[in-house]
Structure 1
Amino acid sequence: MAIAQNTGTVKGIVADKDSKETLVGATVTLKNDNKTYKVSVSTGLDGSYTFRNVPKGKYEVEAKYVTYKDEDKDFELKVGEVKIINLNIESKSNNLDEVKISGKSDEGSDYKSRSIERKSDQVLNAVSARTIEVSPDLTIANVTQRVSGVSIERSNNGEGQYAIIRGMDKRYNYTLVNGVKIPSPDNKNRYVPLDIFPADIVDRMEVYKSLTPNLEGDAIGGGINLVLKDAPNRFTVRANAAVGMAGSLFDQDYTKFDHSASSKSSPRIANGNGYSATLADFPNNPFNYSTKKAPVSTIFGLSAGGRSADKKFGALAAISYQNTYRGTKTVFYDTDVDRATNEPALKSVQSRAYSIQQERTGLHAKLDYKFNKANKLDLYASYMNLAQNQFRFQSDTTLNLGRVGMGTGRVSNNYRSSRVVQQIFSTNLHGEHEIADNFDMNWSLVYAKADANEPDRASLSIVTGRTAIFDASGNKTGSSQNPILFNSTGAAQSHVWAKNSDEDKTAYLNFIYKPKIADTNVEFSFGGMYRDKTRTSSYDDYSLRLSGSTTQTYDGNINNNTFMVQTVGGSPSDPLNYNFKEKIAAAYAQFKFNVGKLQTLGGVRYENTQQDWVTSANINQIIGAIGSKKYDDFLPSLNFKYALGDKENLRLSYYSAISRPGFYELIPHTGGDPDADYQELGNPNLKRITSDNFDLRYELFPKQLDQLLVGVFYKNIKNPIEFALVNQATSVFYTAANFGNATNYGFEADFTKYISKFGFRANYTFTNSKITTTKTVLYRDAATTGLTQRTEEQTRPLQGQSKHIGNLSLLFKDAKSGIDAQLAAVYTGPRIFTVSPYLDNDIWQKGTITLDLSAEKKISKNFSVYIKVNNLLNTPSELEIKRPYQITASTINQDVANQTVGENVFVRKDEYKQFYLLGLRYKL
């Protein structure tokens, strides 16, 4: 206590002398005149430092920071005094402030991302490579969920796959790599599945929330731009390696299968139309299963690059490899609608167990050369590959059991093994040229190709069950297990080959003219784009049945059974065998100027779209088997940015945008995703979507990393496309359709604050969309007692839109001890998963809260260790119909699992559990 009474406190801020930006991680040393007292600390996330319990006396405080000159101050500290010493240190280079903003060495920094947000011409959010590196995320898809206004759609392994921006489904958004749109390997959508990108291959991720005329116009929701790693100013090496394990595989064996003998092409594609397949074309390898306990996941990444001594030539190469194993469990109820009451009805219950291996590879290389001040060329190429091996066991139990009760009756079991390989290759030759002092030109030649190949999705179908045993009085006394048999009347095996390819050849040309008009600097830009896209798809489905007319018992070894090929010719007339061509020609004119503190940017973009497709379906039986579409769009936009201060902006923007239907949606196909709960149906009558979009946002950047972003948005959408269940004859299909008009509006708040070593990052988005569609009501007419139906209009949210989403991250960073940690929570509110054709029968995804953890500890100058833990709360994905579950004639004597009378009808639950990762990182 006596020591404390004779001491004081010294604290302050270390900042850049010119820009006044605070410096994180600067070393501050406090020492007295006779050198008997000396202590050092590092500045916190807000650039602050503090020395407590300092004895009275004369001192010197000194600040040191890389590439900055040392700065010191002398002072005298009195007893009980709180001395504030702010140190403004000067760069060793006269133009360092400019380098900090645009220099190669800062591209992946948090400060670079904040600077881009502040200076951009449009409304956007940016996430730096450093933020991504220390986050709990392994893929770009999962990174997107940390951004305000963005939620994710997950794949069946629980990993993020697509981004939903401001409640707008994946179809309304596009993906760019270094500002250039790339094709998609997805078998349904024209937009890229973001889980194909490893997170450690980018310098920065940008989320566009408004468009300017020089950007492609098919992004009603927004765009995601991945800025890949660039050559730094000095030679730099980054490497990391990690091992991990899925918590779901601690109590569930991982099942693998042999895919080595599977042919990449179907028998028909390999041998030509008219070929009759034989048993030799279908080896039993995919049905040879084996299990192992908790396989170990592995992660590896390496990047190296730098610039020549004269800084004219730069080169960088990067590789990322991830091999992960996961297991998931699913319970799914196949639902229908009661013909007399329009209430949900349960048909069957399925339990599914998945074993999933994903091998994700990312390769990236970039070269650039600056010939002189006026001419520069760069060439980059990237290759992304996602190979997934998936085993699924499904058990399907009918619920139409009458008085027999649960646990008895017919059970259909299905074993399925599939391997899907998705690839994206993209290369871009880009040039920048100064033609005159105020006239510039840039151009790009881009070749990109994406494909997905699923060779031999092999399924095995068997039947079994339990038979109830009754006493003489008719009371159930037990049950007996039935044999496990192949069904002699249906397909015992199915083999599917599916392959699609999407090839783009694109050219860009832009001119920028910067005259001075009436003492105002004005920038005029104009240019164009032409893309030639070719999309191909092939599909074959083969069935094998038991040889002979009797049933056969399945003992777990498929080699003990005999089969014959039932569909020897494959599926040559299936509409999923198609060729699709799309040509897009675009031109734009844009202006930008500043008057005082107001920047104005506006212009118009023109896009011409021509689409043609040909399928192998019988054109006399299938409507739309051959088709074409052509349309023109004029897309104006206007953006205002008013600088309320050096670190404060007010933005107002308007832009018009479109969204084109997916190729898969236009082709008149039947069938589709093997994991889908309903058969899919194509719709060649789909129209493009158009929208008018408005944004207002206030921005404040008080310190280097702190920020406050608050805004509102409004979208008026014409002909939105959504998936819905439709009835055709006796079947129910899942199809895309246009649904009149819709509106979507909301509010966003994004707040980041750092205090010394602690940080707080939070964002919240409210979104409210409305669309009115016609729904069917089934009922029994009281007068005639007959079953009939009527239609009613119903207003609901857009599919995939959550009214409330939010993020909360607690951060800790101590540069001196080398600790960087965060606990990150994500809330995603309820949203419509499937639109039903029946009133009040839409299937909703429940709201979720997920919690992830990551931490890094520096152990030497060049090495650090890190951990990442995903899904700490074991949050499942659950679906429901917001109607109370009721006892029906078919379930009166059943105790149906997961269903509670009076509560919402349970539809589906997917459980993923945690994923753990421990790694080592190297930096030179």
Structure 2
Amino acid sequence: MKQTLLATSLSRALLCAVMLPASYQAAAQSVETPDAGNSAEGMDAKQDAKQLDTVVVQGEIAYRNRTLDIEPVLSYDLEYFQRFEPNTVGDMVKRVPGVGFVGSDVMEFDGAQLRGLAGGYTQVLINGKKVPGAGDDRSFWVDRIPAEMVDRIEILRSNSANRSGDAVAGAINIILRDAYAFDGHYIRVGVNRWFDGEVNPTFGAVTSGEALGGRVLAGVNVQDRYRRKDKRSDRFTDPSKEELASWEDQVEVKDGRDYSANFSYTVDVGETGRLGIDAFYVKTDRDVTEVSYEEEYDDGDVITADVPGLATVDQKNWGAGLEYRFGMAGGITEFDLDHARFADNSFEREEEHVYENGEWDESEGEAEYIDAKDAETSLKIAHMRSLGAVGMEFGVDYRDKERDVTYAFFEWEAENEGDPVVYQPDSIIGSVIEEERIDPYIQFNGQAGILAWEAGLRYETTRSRIRYSEDGDVEGSASKDYDELLPSMHLRWDVTDADRINLSLARSVKRPNFNEMIPALLDGEFGDNDYIGNPQLDPETANGIDLGWEHRLGRKGVIGINFFYRDVKDLIEVVNTGAPSEEMRDTWEEMVEDGEAASIEEAIAAEPADSWVFTSANIGDGKVWGAEFDLSTPLSAFGLDNTGVFLNYSWVDSKIDDFLGERRFNNQAKSVFNIGFIQDLPALAASFGVTYRKQGDAYERILGEEVTVRYGDDLEAFVEKRFGNRVSVRLSAANLLDASKDEFFHKFDTLGDQTDRDYDEYELETEEAGPSYQMVMRWSF
């Protein structure tokens, strides 16, 4: 996966607050806090920069911010999460409303899903800018970003014209620390202990201050990433579970280390200009070892297998960005230039040594090597100005992307027991996808009394070129061009000083997954059925509405509820091409060769096709709706100023038609619930807290397989002691209830079997990872 560290949105917001007229200030990204950069003093970075020792030693409980954005935005500073010591952004966003994780291993939070929709529907931004991901569904795994690099997390519930429109479910905006916003130095040292006794360290350091005529921030982070998972699978002939067909015990250990660094430089240029330079580097080294034992029962025979597996992960991300803003023609002009790269050189292998009734039967293995490179370059030019009582912003975004992925497959088969494992090349499949986008946009905003508004248009143009090869031979190429007009409108009524109503209408887009676009035939991709990609897919589009109410509770608290609806058009689903599978064609040819049929036609008549070639197609419409509630407040009304409570609950539902009929969107968790509290003890310079999380069941139906996923309850706690204004020590614990991930698989060979409920196998799988504990010390100097 990859990420791009672009120019900082906080510096943009502060600069806008100084240089733009009042009508535009109302629309600039900012937070309702005293002296948030709404005066000329905001240009003095030394005065406005946040002291990092307040991050190290928190004297007060942090709550959700109440932003001044016209569009619906939830904002959470790092301090909101930090006392529970998150290691990654995934550990952070699991606590905010509407963010689910389906498919992640237990105790891991990588592919974030807003509104319960798959990762490709959720846009991940860094500093307000779109970032690329390595996943085929264009998703970005948020567990790659260390929490220590983050200033705050924003949940953007609806689209605006001045950012990329591919956010059907919404966007997660990760605001990184930058030189303009922070001042000081600190070191973070910690140690993690896992349930199996494994202990590993973590280290981080951040420094920021005046240098090189401006301000510089630099940070490094090194953390060992370890997770042991115990898995049990029981497989039956059907859901009655009357006949056990096989079972498997597996131990998986992920052991590696992540290295990361970031750099930010900000300098004022002349009287109105500001130049920002950012860079980042992330490297992941990880080994994943699996040891499995399987036992199968077949007509009185007992077949056992030892299945060792090993995967090595070597991934690198780096990127750099330059932003320059300056006053021009009575407004502000902005230039952003960014480049990011991702490289994945990973290897995975698995052997199987099979014994029948105690006697060796066979040994074989498969291996796969991935060589993936993804590069993106983007350029943005924008101008913001006042037109009387109305603010205007217009500009154009350009993005050029090249994704080059090669899969090399190897196989091994023993002739005798104990033969050495020597893999031989089997096949190589490669693909190159190039995308070029030019997206002009314009938007206006203003305020009339208690009503603030924003309206805009974005026109996204996409030019795609696809090539794929097998074993070095070019097998095919294709191209696809499409354009989408994306209007958006946001209204904010400040009904009272404490009450606010938001209404948003916006159109968004989801581009096809990369693997859905490649016209390569995959043999046996869905049971006995084959699959071939469709490069002529149109993107999915969605018309959405969000309606929310928010109320301020006292000086720090906030409560809110939001209702949303998405009408999705041109849904991409798997459909039958009507062509028989490669296995069926081979069967008919063998019948002719063996004399069982005089011709292919006679073979087809004797054994009609029951497996097919499927592809992806735009099939129709779908609908998504739900409600999101959140509360973040001190209990001051009860005289408990030092007690903070946090609660959010999201309920979602949807409707879609696939090859078998009506269902929900795949892997949409029915609900996500978080509740917790923090108790500060000022007299003891200490605090403690607990948080609880529960995610509802999710269901997925694809050709040949149906899966229900259920996660157990997640309980975390911390206790903290502060020493003066410079040092804090915190003990945190995760997964205290030893939650499990349980999956229920319904497996079928063909579409006819799936329709008739003629099972190939019914499997129950559960995995556990045990509690973990972390001791962390922070020292500010």
Return the TM-score normalized by structure 1. Answer: 0.69
Deviation, 1:857, is 1.2
1:582 maps onto 2:435 in alignment: yes
1:530 maps onto 2:437 in alignment: no
Question: Which residues in structure 2 correspond to 1:195-214 (within 5 Å)?
Answer: 195-214=143-162
Distance change >3 Å, CA 566–CA 447, structure 1 → 2: closer
Distance change >3 Å, CA 736–CA 411, structure 1 → 2: farther
Identical amino acids, percent of aligned pairs: 20
Question: Could you say which residue in structure 1 is the equivalent of 2:642?
Answer: 757
Question: Which residues in structure 2 correspond to 1:412-427 (within 5 Å)?
Answer: 412-427=305-320
* 2:441 alignment partner, SS class: strand
1:192 maps onto 2:140 in alignment: yes
Asked if the contact 1:113–1:204 (Cα under 8 Å) also holds between the matched residues in 2, the reply is no
Question: Could you say which residue in structure 2 is the equivalent of 1:255?
Answer: none
1:813 maps onto 2:711 in alignment: no
Asked if the contact 1:543–1:566 (Cα under 8 Å) also holds between the matched residues in 2, the reply is yes
Distance of 1:140 and 1:923 partners within structure 2:
22
Question: Could you say which residue in structure 2 is the equivalent of 1:748?
Answer: 628
Distance of 1:243 and 1:695 partners within structure 2:
43
| Residue identity in the other structure for 2:466 | W
Question: Could you say which residue in structure 1 is the equivalent of 2:333?
Answer: 441
Distance of 1:523 and 1:361 partners within structure 2:
43
Asked if the contact 1:344–1:905 (Cα under 8 Å) also holds between the matched residues in 2, the reply is no
Distance of 2:43 and 2:683 partners within structure 1:
28
Higher relative contact order (CA 8 A, sep 6+): 2
| Residue identity in the other structure for 1:705 | K
* 1:195 alignment partner, SS class: helix
Deviation, 1:767, is 0.8
1:844 maps onto 2:708 in alignment: yes
1:717 maps onto 2:585 in alignment: no
1:323 maps onto 2:242 in alignment: no
| Residue identity in the other structure for 1:537 | V
Deviation, 1:635, is 0.3
Deviation, 1:725, is 11
- What is the CA RMSD across the aligned residues, in angstroms? 3.6
Q: Which among 398, 418, 427 is matched to residue 571 of structure 1?
A: 427
After superposition, what is the alpha-carbon deviation per residue over 1:572-602, rounded to whole angstroms, capped at 9, x for unaligned? 3x2xx11110111100010001111111100
Question: Could you say which residue in structure 2 is the equivalent of 1:594?
Answer: 447
Distance of 1:771 and 1:227 partners within structure 2:
34
Deviation, 1:715, is 0.4
1:835 maps onto 2:701 in alignment: yes
Deviation, 1:687, is 3.3
Distance of 1:677 and 1:808 partners within structure 2:
42
* 1:148 alignment partner, SS class: coil
Deviation, 1:669, is 4.9
Deviation, 1:383, is 1.4
Deviation, 1:428, is 0.7
Question: Could you say which residue in structure 2 is the equivalent of 1:82?
Answer: none
Distance of 1:656 and 1:702 partners within structure 2:
33
After superposition, what is the alpha-carbon deviation per residue over 1:488-507, rounded to whole angstroms, capped at 9, x for unaligned? xxxx3433211111100110
Look at both structures and tell me which one has the larger radius of gyration over its CA atoms: 1
After superposition, what is the alpha-carbon deviation per residue over 1:433-478, rounded to whole angstroms, capped at 9, x for unaligned? 1114x311111000011122114x233221125x3xxxxxxxxxxx
Question: Could you say which residue in structure 2 is the equivalent of 1:304?
Answer: 207
After superposition, what is the alpha-carbon deviation per residue over 1:59-98, rounded to whole angstroms, capped at 9, x for unaligned? xxxxxxxxxxxxxxxxxxxxxxxxxxxxxx999x998899
Distance change >3 Å, CA 621–CA 531, structure 1 → 2: closer
* 1:664 alignment partner, SS class: helix
Asked if the contact 2:45–2:180 (Cα under 8 Å) also holds between the matched residues in 1, the reply is no
1:495 maps onto 2:367 in alignment: yes
Distance change >3 Å, CA 855–CA 153, structure 1 → 2: farther
Question: Could you say which residue in structure 1 is the equivalent of 2:589?
Answer: none
Distance of 1:736 and 1:295 partners within structure 2:
45
1:605 maps onto 2:458 in alignment: yes
Question: Could you say which residue in structure 2 is the equivalent of 1:388?
Answer: 286
1:664 maps onto 2:515 in alignment: yes
* 1:846 alignment partner, SS class: strand
Question: Which residues in structure 2 correspond to 1:506-521 (within 5 Å)?
Answer: 506-516=378-388, 521=389
* 1:184 alignment partner, SS class: coil
| Residue identity in the other structure for 2:355 | T
Distance of 2:249 and 2:665 partners within structure 1:
29
Asked if the contact 2:106–2:740 (Cα under 8 Å) also holds between the matched residues in 1, the reply is no
Matched length: 695
Q: Which among 739, 753, 773 is matched to residue 875 of structure 1?
A: 739
Deviation, 1:206, is 1.3
Deviation, 1:540, is 1.1
Question: Could you say which residue in structure 1 is the equivalent of 2:5?
Answer: none
| Residue identity in the other structure for 2:325 | E
Structure 1, unaligned runs of 5 or more? 1-88, 250-293, 468-481, 554-560, 776-793, 884-903
Question: Could you say which residue in structure 2 is the equivalent of 1:231?
Answer: 179
Deviation, 1:200, is 1.2
| Residue identity in the other structure for 2:168 | I
1:615 maps onto 2:465 in alignment: no
Deviation, 1:603, is 1.2
After superposition, what is the alpha-carbon deviation per residue over 1:531-563, rounded to whole angstroms, capped at 9, x for unaligned? 1101001121122333xx5x224xxxxxxx346
Q: Which among 529, 543, 552 is matched to residue 417 of structure 2?
A: 552
Deviation, 1:571, is 1.8
Distance of 1:734 and 1:137 partners within structure 2:
42
1:373 maps onto 2:271 in alignment: yes
Return the TM-score normalized by structure 2. Answer: 0.81
Question: Could you say which residue in structure 2 is the equivalent of 1:684?
Answer: 534
Deviation, 1:772, is 2.1
Asked if the contact 2:89–2:147 (Cα under 8 Å) also holds between the matched residues in 1, the reply is yes
Distance change >3 Å, CA 736–CA 815, structure 1 → 2: farther
Distance of 2:511 and 2:647 partners within structure 1:
34
Distance change >3 Å, CA 627–CA 617, structure 1 → 2: farther
Distance change >3 Å, CA 201–CA 816, structure 1 → 2: farther
Deviation, 1:907, is 2.4
Asked if the contact 2:534–2:617 (Cα under 8 Å) also holds between the matched residues in 1, the reply is no
Asked if the contact 2:237–2:762 (Cα under 8 Å) also holds between the matched residues in 1, the reply is no
Distance change >3 Å, CA 882–CA 552, structure 1 → 2: closer
Question: Could you say which residue in structure 2 is the equivalent of 1:823?
Answer: 690
Deviation, 1:231, is 2.2
| Residue identity in the other structure for 1:364 | N
